[in-house]
Amino acid sequence: MVLREIKTEEYLDLITASLDSSTLDRPDIVRLLNDFAEKNLQQIEIDCVLWINEDSDNSLAWTFLGLCLLLRGDEDEGTALLNRAVSLDKTNVFAMNLLGDYHCTNKDEKEGEAFFWWSLDVKEGQVFPNKRLYYQFMSRKEYEKALRVLESILHINQNDMSTWVKIESCFSKMEPVGFVEGFVSRLTHFFPEHPRAWYLKGSVLHGAGR
Please determine, for residue 111, whether its predicted confidence score (pLDDT) is greater than 90.
yes
- The set of residues, in sequence order, having a beta carbon less than 8 Å from that of 117 and lying 6+ positions away, is 129, 133
CA pair distance 169, 94, nearest whole angstrom: 29
CA atoms within 13 A on the CB side of 53: 6
Amino acid at 99: L
| pTM listed for this prediction | 0.86
Domain boundaries, the chain: 1-123, 141-210
Q: Which is nearest to 146 in space by CA: 159, 162, 130, 125?
A: 130
- Average pLDDT for 21-26: 90
pLDDT at 19: 87
Assess whether pLDDT exceeds 90 at residue 65: yes
For domain 1-123, say whether CATH 2.40.50.840 is its number. Answer: no
DSSP classification of residue 177:
S
What is the rounded CA–CA span in Å between residue 29 and residue 192?
A: 40
